[in-house]
Structure 1
Amino acid sequence: MRTLKISTYLAADLETVKSYLMTPALLNYVVAGLMKFHPIEPNFFPSKWVEGKFSVKMFAFHFLPIGKQIIGIEFPQKSDHWVLRDNGSGSIAKTWDHLIFLESEGGGTRYTDEVSIDAGLFTLPIYIYAFIFYSYRQMRWRKLVNLNFRPLNDQLIE
């Protein structure tokens, strides 16, 4: 098991970041170009994340199938920050325990991804991939905030 923790500052208040984070459409937006998640069971994402298990197919670069994953949404109670947990697992990673921490910082939000990964012999390469994946996601988050969430808003309207 390996654990990765990566953080970034977002120039948006915590409630705004939390509101967009709770929108499943954001998931595919922040990984666009690198991955795509397609819901299997249920066969659609809810309009807002709720606690529960969501089975998805994963596609690298939007077209190359790389397995299935369970997104296990939970909302652990913390007193000093807000947390979303994806207690997931899949066909490659038996454990993909992803925590997203949101904390107010200055006039914006400190956004942190922390993921614990167990993929047996593939743990190290998956860990390296996770570093690239979460760095990319956070870059996409910063871009989205800098554009005042317009690309995601346009996508939600379509």
Structure 2
Amino acid sequence: MKAWIVELETRLPARAAEVVALAKTSDQLLRVAAPLVKFRAASPPELPRIWEPGTYWVRLSLFGWIPMGKQAIVISYPASPAGIFALRDDGHSALVARWDHLITIQDAGRDCVYRDRVSIEAGWRTPFVWAFASLFYRHRQWRWRKLLAERRPVSAGGGA
């Protein structure tokens, strides 16, 4: 079965540099996935503060209590055109042969354009995994917008 693709784009109320800095942190993954999906580090026993290229095994649970198994998060920072940041998770699990997620962030003045592109291969499960991914990435983008809109503005003098 060929890969099924989820592609979503949203405009975030923050400059690209701020969103890039957040996207590089494991804490932001936990924040934007919650409460739909909870990630718990399996190997290594803790997620890095800042994503470095490499493989991180996590245990997933739906709503924090329905086990979804283990998944490999395989981080890389692929080359991208000037002005576009890219972060890739070429993930996989026992049930999903390919969960290739590419995040791109592009400056748009005072805002930025945030894109998720996920290529999914899971055999006969692919349509179901694709449907879940469609919901999950819509949830994540909604959480990005909500969390950024709620952040405390920084004054011109740099204080909070």
Q: Alignment identity in percent?
A: 35
* Match 2:47 to one of 45, 48, 53: 45
User: In the alignment, which residue of structure 2 is the partner of 1:146?
Assistant: 149
Paired with 1:4 and 1:63, the residues of 2 have a C-alpha distance of 26
2:127 partner SS: helix
Q: Which amino acid in the other structure matches residue 97 of structure 1?
A: D
TM-score, normalising length: structure 1:
0.92
User: In the alignment, which residue of structure 1 is the partner of 2:60?
Assistant: 58
Q: Is 1:89 the counterpart of 2:92 in the alignment?
A: yes
Paired with 1:68 and 1:129, the residues of 2 have a C-alpha distance of 16
Which runs of 4 or more aligned residues in structure 1 lie more than 2 Å from their structure 2 counterparts after TM superposition? Answer: none
Unaligned runs of 5+ in 1: 151-158
Q: Which protein is richer in helix relative to its size?
A: 1
TM-score, normalising length: structure 2:
0.91
Q: Cα RMSD (Å) of the superposition?
A: 1.2
User: In the alignment, which residue of structure 2 is the partner of 1:31?
Assistant: 33
* Match 1:110 to one of 105, 108, 113: 113
Paired with 1:66 and 1:91, the residues of 2 have a C-alpha distance of 11
Q: Which amino acid in the other structure matches residue 114 of structure 1?
A: R
Contact 2:40–2:58 (8 Å) recurs in 1: yes
Unaligned runs of 5+ in 2: 154-160
Structure number, greater radius of gyration: 2
